[in-house]
Amino acid sequence: MHKIGVGHASVTELEKRYVLDALENERLSQGKYVAKFEKEFASLHGQHYGVMCNSGTTALHLALETLKEADGWDSGTEVLVPAITFIATSNACLHAGLKVKFVDVDKDTYNMDPKEIEKHITKNTKCIIPVHTFGMPCDMEKIMEIAGRHGLRVIEDCAEAHFAKVDGKTVGSFGDISAFSTYVAHTITTGVGGIVCTDNREYMEILRSLVAHGRACTCERCVASDGASVCPKRMQTELDRRFTFVRLGYSYRVGEIEGALGLAQLERKDEIMEKRHQNAEYLIKKLEKYRHVLRLPYHPDNVEHTYMMFPVVLEKDSKVDRKEFIGYLEQHNIETRPMLPLLNQPVYKELFGDIEKDYPVAEYIDQYGFYIGCHHGMGKTELDYIVNRIGDFIGNLP
């Protein structure tokens, strides 16, 4: 069997046609494709504004810097993040000069546990970042209720959960701002990239300024024009507003090739999402008989899980050695990855100390969890191979 990876980039003739059109237009900086991708992606997630950038980490950083400016946060401001997430979530807070407070996660969903949130709220807490881990939406009703009661902002980290829903409402539409990744391993990919979405026009204007060095002009004709027309607002001041800088911004932009890839992917989203869902449900059904050993993905009935990955947590009583198990899978060309360990990372142990023991669910997942792929590039042959290899390993347990 060929190597079965955890991610997949599907490039069809549609993506190639759009990219070729961008190249033939001789427009490599952002233009019509980026502008259209921003609008359509935001709309699909229940928001008016989208600002494309060069990574999901950048999207989080921009969101934090925007709220920091709008609300006047200082260096003592605390942001709550889950104790299980990719390190980018908490790194973005640190890069924005803010303090991180960790919240333990739910043992079934692996998302921030609402029951754990309030014990970490202090007078300095200003924001919660719930992460929709692996495509499983957080309990946003409870999180938003807590945030509202304490006057907290909410940034949704939707990097792994494009198009996921709770009670028919799409993730990214609950909080003040949402951040997505379109990196190559993600559900909808632009190769590299990310996008920030919001309904707030003030936030959008700050975001557009920050993504482009802090420039003054943030209107659509200036940031995504075709080069053939000049925005009348540009010359209303002594200096061209595109080259007037009003804040310390960043060079976080992407170009038309990324926009073209993203737009094509959006047109194929139903096909991509349906295949991922089918693959995950197939694995769950076939692996059901091993639940005495494996804790499989779960979601309540009111949630649409989008299965960016297929997480597996070993039951402690099974006595299975995780290192031996993942070694076996890797030897049989099934790629595995640790399940987003955070608090035991060397750099975080230096920054925060040995705190993992204070988050028992996260600690358990760090010790017993891993994930494999269930992406849209896998067919029944790969799925059955995974099931059979797992079955062989469990069947040979003492």
The pLDDT tens digits for 110-124 are 999 999 999 999 999
CA 366, 160, 290 angle in degrees (round to 5)?
A: 50
Question: For 58-76, how does the pLDDT look when each residue is reduced to its tens digit (9 = 90+)?
Answer: 999 999 999 999 999 999 9
The residue with tokens 């799409």 is: 170
Q: 296: which residues sit within 8 A by CB, 6+ positions away?
A: 283, 284, 287, 288, 312
Question: For the chain, which residues score pLDDT lower than 50?
Answer: none
**Sheet of strand 310-314, all strands in order from the earlier edge strand to the far edge:** 294-295, 310-314, 369-372, 337-338
* Tokens of residue 117, six digits: 């949130």
By three-state DSSP, how is residue 336 classified?
coil
**DSSP states of 71-84:** HT--TT-EEEEESS
The residue with tokens 């409402």 is: 169
The residue with tokens 């009348």 is: 232
- In this prediction, residue 30 carries a pLDDT of 86
Residue 102 to residue 38: CA distance in whole angstroms:
31
Domains of the chain are 13-267 (3.40.640.10), 269-395 (3.90.1150.10)
Q: Where are the alpha helices (DSSP H) in the chain?
A: 13-24, 32-44, 56-71, 88-95, 114-117, 140-150, 201-210, 220-223, 256-267, 269-287, 322-331, 346-352, 360-368, 380-395
- In this prediction, residue 397 carries a pLDDT of 84
10 Å CB burial of residue 250 (0-12, 13-18, 19+) is middle
Report yes or no: 90 and 371 within 8 Å, Cβ to Cβ: no
- In this prediction, residue 230 carries a pLDDT of 55
Report yes or no: 84 and 105 within 8 Å, Cβ to Cβ: yes
Report yes or no: 53 and 179 within 8 Å, Cβ to Cβ: no
10 Å CB burial of residue 99 (0-12, 13-18, 19+) is middle
Look up residue 328 and give its amino acid: Y
